Every structure is written in structure tokens, then in C-alpha cells.
């Protein structure tokens, strides 16, 4: 959420930001209703002040006629006040609906474009694997090796249900352990990341605070109690410091959060229906950073968390490229976003494995996470997040490291977490 003072002073910039993101938002409608809000608040405050003054005078008046007249006037004033207070409730509701719909302003470096087809490649690492045989997809490879059971997954969990088994579980555990170790080693240089296991079943207000509601409700699972299941550990991690004042000396706060993730994939019917590339339930490590309210600091940490994910992908030996997301492919609150996309041989294309975003104070203003600056002024911290590890690298490893006989070579960095095993083959 942007500051209403900033919006009023920069309404053309806000309108340009919405246009670049291809989000339909009427800034003038917000300004108009904010004018009404301010007018009503001023009038109500004046009436309350007048009411207090008259109440004090009535006590000291002994003349019954004069007192009766003042009481009658007070009644009219009270009725007028109550009417304006009811009107303010309606205006405040409409104002809040518009305020949470104001899109954040994208950085000037964000490419123009409508959707992910317009994202701009900014980096390429490694080379595409070359096979002297026809490569199989992850479904055939993992099923043949007893790593995956989609048929029973569908039987038990329905569409997009799956079971990981045997070496599929061991390989996934190895990826988790390797990721944990990677961030633990960062701490040896004083770059401490706090590991966290966070809840996925969360209150509505945390989703509102992070910007996943109200716009993204169709992709969330909702319980009958009004809570929601999160699609990323970012939501709970951001809620951790909700309504708190942090110490500037403790910034930046860096958290590596792990949780199950749930997504309805409401807008993806017919897409990636085979295999486990796009599923309703998976597990995810997420990097979350809270830093000082500085654009330069946000940019610095954005590049840092992006590089963390690149280093993990490079250590796994997976060919990837990085794209800068265009305006139309940014979410409501994102200032800038990078996607890492890893090569998937069976599709002969790149597929996303993670996204790095920064938000300035868009989320923290909603969540009321502040710190006191050196000048004593209270400021909202800036927030950033990036995928450290999703479920997709498992698929990429299986396909990129496959052999002609259907076995899978285990990446060298994962072997210590699999008891020194080098190859996954039929038992």
C-alpha cells in the first residue's frame, strides 16, 4: 500500500505505474473520495469540539430556559454528527478498497510489456545438455525408477495429486539439506540467515498485508473458518513482525523459511497437467529480507538474494537464464522482479524455478512493520523475497542428468546427503 500523501503529490506517477503494469486503476477516483474523507473528518472533529464546549457550558447555566434552548441545539448538533459519522463509515470503506488496490510503482529499469512473453533475458549460465539418445521426461524416468507414483496420487488426492517415493524422497531431502547448508555457510562470513519453519494456515489479514488479497483470492484455498492456506512461506514470514517496531541496529533481518505450499492453480486449467511441474501442494524454501527504507538498500539486497538462487542452481550444474519481468508480468506490490528459468530437455525450453522481488514499503505499510531511524523518525522497513528452492529443481535434475539406460546421475554436491550414492538406477 502506498502512502495517501505520496499518491496525492505524485498522482501522475502512480497513474503511469498502473499503466506500465497494465492494471486498471483510477487515481482520480481515489483522490475524489479522499477529499470527501478529509472533509468529513474535519467536520466531525469540529462538531465534537463544539459538542464538548456546549456540554461544559450547560453545567454552569442556571437559567432553565437558556439551558433548555442549548440542549435542543445540542440535539440537532448530535443528530448531524451521527449522520456524518455514518457517512464516514461508508466513505472509509470505499477509500480502503481503493487504497489496497493501488499498484506499487515499478522501477524505471523494468521492461515494457504485457505478459511473460515480453520479459527480457539479462543473463545466461552454462550450456544446454547434449544427449546421444532421445531424452525422456521426468514422468517416465521417475516412474520407472520407483521415485514417483502419479496414478495412486490421483486416486488419493485427485487432480495433480502425487506420491514421491524411494530415491525421489532421498533426492528431495538432499536438495533441502544442501540448501540449508548453503545458507548456514553464509553465516560464517557474518551474513546470518535465520532458518524458520513457518505455518501455512494463516489469517486473512496477513494475506492482505502481503498483497495476495484481495486480488489473488481465486488461487488460494480457504477454510470454513475464514483462514487461508499460503502458496509460499513469504506470507507467514512477513506476518512474523506484523505491528512491531524493529531496532535499526538489527537490520537487515534475513530469514530462510520453509513450509508446505498450496495453490489452486485456478488460472492454469489445461496447462502442465502431466507430471509434477505444476501441482497443488509442494514444499518450498523462501528467502525473506527486511531492510532500511532505502531504494539503494533494496536494490543491493535484491541482487544478493537473486545471486543466492543462482549459486544454488549453478552448484547443481543446471543450465539457466535470468529474465527481468516486464511491467505486465509484475504483481500489484512488486517494484522489480527477476525469474530464474532452468532448461527442461523434454520440453526443449526454460521453465521457472524461482522469482526474486522487492517491494519497498508496500507490504510493511499494510503490515505496520516499522523502525526508528537515526533522526528519531518512524519509518516502514523495506521487504524483499526470493525462492531459495522449490520442488521444480528435482524435475530439472532428473531430466538433465538422465542416462541412456534410464538411470540418473546424482549431482556431485548432493552425493554427501545421499550416503555417497552416485547414480539412481532400477533396483
Return all residues near 164 (Cβ < 8 A) that are at least 6 apart.
Answer: 147, 148, 172
Query: What cell was used for 101?
Result: 488496490
Residue among 160, 263, 365, 370 flagged as catalytic = 263
Residue among 298, 355, 357, 390 flagged as catalytic = 355
Query: What cell was used for 244?
Result: 512491531
Partners of 379 in beta bridges? 371
Residue among 160, 170, 365, 392 flagged as catalytic = 392
In 172-186, which positions are buried (b, 16+ CB within 10 angstroms) versus exposed (e)? bebbeebbbebbeeb
* Catalytic residue flag (residue 392): yes
**163 Rama class: left (phi>0) / alpha (psi -120 to 50) / beta:** beta
Return the H-helix or E-strand segment holding 17. Answer: helix 11-20
Residue among 87, 352, 407, 415 flagged as catalytic = 352
* Catalytic residue flag (residue 263): yes
**5 vs 30, 73, 353, 375, 401, CA distance in Å?**
12, 37, 38, 21, 55
Half-sphere exposure of 387 (CA within 13 A, CB side): 20
How far does Cα 266 stand from its chain's mean position?
A: 17
Residue among 120, 204, 264, 278 flagged as catalytic = 278
* Catalytic residue flag (residue 274): no
* Catalytic residue flag (residue 352): yes
Partners of 408 in beta bridges? 402, 424
In this structure, what DSSP letter does residue 106 have?
Answer: P
Q: Contact at 8 Å (CB) between 246 and 383?
A: no
* Catalytic residue flag (residue 278): yes
**1 vs 71, 145, 241, CA distance in Å?**
44, 49, 17
**Enzyme catalytic residues:** 263, 278, 352, 355, 392
Amino acid at each position: 500500500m502506498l502512502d495517501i500523501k505520496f499518491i496525492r503529490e505524485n498522482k501522475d506517477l502512480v497513474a503511469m505505474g498502473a499503466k506500465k503494469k497494465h492494471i486498471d486503476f483510477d487515481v482520480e477516483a481515489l483522490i475524489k473520495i479522499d477529499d470527501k474523507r478529509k472533509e468529513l473528518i474535519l467536520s466531525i472533529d469540529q462538531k465534537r469540539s463544539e459538542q464538548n464546549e456546549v456540554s461544559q457550558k450547560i453545567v454552569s447555566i442556571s437559567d432553565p430556559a437558556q439551558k433548555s434552548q442549548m440542549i435542543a441545539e445540542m440535539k440537532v448538533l448530535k443528530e448531524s454528527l451521527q449522520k456524518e459519522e455514518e457517512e464516514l463509515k461508508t466513505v472509509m470503506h470505499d477509500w480502503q478498497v481503493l487504497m489496497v488496490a493501488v499498484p506499487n510503482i515499478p522501477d524505471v529499469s523494468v521492461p515494457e510489456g504485457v505478459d511473460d512473453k515480453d520479459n527480457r533475458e539479462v543473463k545466461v549460465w552454462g550450456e544446454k545438455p547434449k544427449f546421444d539418445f532421445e531424452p525422456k521426461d521426468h514422468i517416465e524416468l521417475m516412474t520407472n525408477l520407483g521415485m514417483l507414483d502419479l496414478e495412486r496420487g490421483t486416486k488419493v488426492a485427485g487432480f495433480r495429486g502425487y506420491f514421491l517415493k524411494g530415491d525421489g524422497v532421498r533426492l528431495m531431502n538432499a536438495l533441502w539439506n544442501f540448501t540449508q547448508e548453503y545458507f548456514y555457510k553464509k553465516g560464517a562470513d557474518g551474513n546470518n540467515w535465520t532458518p524458520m519453519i513457518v505455518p501455512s494456515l494463516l489469517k486473512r489479514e496477513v494475506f492482505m498485508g502481503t498483497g495476495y488479497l484481495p486480488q489473488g483470492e481465486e488461487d488460494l484455498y480457504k477454510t470454513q473458518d475464514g483462514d487461508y492456506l499460503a502458496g509460499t512461506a513469504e506470507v507467514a514470514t512477513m506476518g512474523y513482525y506484523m505491528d512491531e517496531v524493529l531496532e535499526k541496529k538489527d537490520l537487515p533481518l534475513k530469514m530462510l523459511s520453509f513450509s508446505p505450499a498450496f495453490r489452486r492453480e485456478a488460472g492454469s486449467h489445461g496447462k502442465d497437467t502431466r507430471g509434477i511441474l505444476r501441482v497443488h501442494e509442494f514444499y518450498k524454501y523462501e528467502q525473506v529480507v527486511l531492510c532500511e527504507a532505502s531504494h539503494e538498500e533494496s536494490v543491493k539486497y535484491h541482487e544478493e538474494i537473486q545471486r543466492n538462487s543462482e549459486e544454488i542452481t549453478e552448484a547443481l550444474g543446471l543450465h539457466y537464464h535470468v529474465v527481468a519481468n516486464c511491467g505486465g508480468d509484475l504483481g500489484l506490490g512488486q517494484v522489480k522482479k527477476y525469474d530464474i528459468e532452468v532448461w527442461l530437455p523434454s520440453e526443449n525450453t526454460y521453465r521457472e524455478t524461482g522469482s526474486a522481488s522487492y517491494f519497498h514499503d508496500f507490504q510493511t505499510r499494510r503490515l505496520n512493520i516499522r523502525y526508528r531511524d537515526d533522526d528519531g523518525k518512524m519509518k516502514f522497513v523495506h521487504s524483499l523475497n526470493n525462492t531459495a528452492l522449490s520442488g521444480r529443481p528435482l524435475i530439472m535434475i532428473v531430466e538433465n542428468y538422465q542416462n541412456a539406460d534410464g538411470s540418473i546421475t546424482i549431482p556431485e554436491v548432493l552425493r554427501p546427503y545421499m550416503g555417497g550414492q552416485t547414480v539412481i538406477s532400477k533396483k
